[in-house]
Amino acid sequence: MFTGLRLAGTPRPCVKCGLSERYASGACAPCTRARTKIKHNPARANPTKVGGNKPNPEKALVAHRQYRARNRDELNRMERERRKSDPDRKRKSREYMRIFRYRGAFGVSGETLRLMRAQQDNRCAICARELTDARLDTKATVVRGTAVVDHTEVEGRKIVRGILCSNCNLGLGHFADNPERLMAAARYLRRSG
């Protein structure tokens, strides 16, 4: 039987079993299900996953530690070479992690934060102190004047209000972002001052 011609509008046969209906992949529904079962067979599953498809952090951590222990010398050698070739690597890594953390916490990109900081002329939005990059003093506390992202929560979503120095951000936090309490504190300072 010659099958090279087919009528317009007739379904193309499955490439596996020859049934008349098939998906865009070329296989029919039963062949696709059979292939999926083989693909997600728990016997062939990744040991760092539960049941073949759910992450298992405990096993992944054990596997990672074993890999690091087996390849410690090579990994240390590669890290030393990276440090020699790029002296600013530590600073760049710190900057990248800070931007990555802001993107996850506030949903804003590093570029957006840089623009906000430039719009504020690299000064705190409250006290106008010049902002510095995040760094820690010897007691592991944030140094005065360090730039931090001020945000508020509306219906469970964090919304960035501006870039402040660490002191002003802590002050707002201690007053629970309550304008009435801040005004009362200002009246107190004027009265006693």
Q: What are 95-132's pLDDT values in tens digits? A: 777 777 777 788 888 788 888 889 999 999 999 988 88
Reported as a pLDDT band with limits 50, 70 and 90, residue 148 is: confident
Judged against a pLDDT cut of 60, whether residue 45 lies above it is answered with: no
Which pLDDT belongs to residue 18?
A: 72
Which pLDDT belongs to residue 119?
A: 93
What percentage of the chain reaches a pLDDT higher than 70?
Answer: 70
Bigger pLDDT: 106 vs 52: 106
Query: What 3-state class would DSSP assign to 147?
Result: strand
CB 169 within 8 A of CB 148: yes
Query: What 3-state class would DSSP assign to 149?
Result: strand
For 44-58, letters b (16+ CB in 10 Å) and e give eeeeeeeeeeeebee
Which pLDDT belongs to residue 75?
A: 92
Model-level pTM? 0.50
Give whole-number Cα distances, 141 to 134, 137, 170, in Å: 10, 6, 12
pLDDT tens digits for range 9-22 = 556 677 677 766 66
Average pLDDT, stretch 169-186? 91
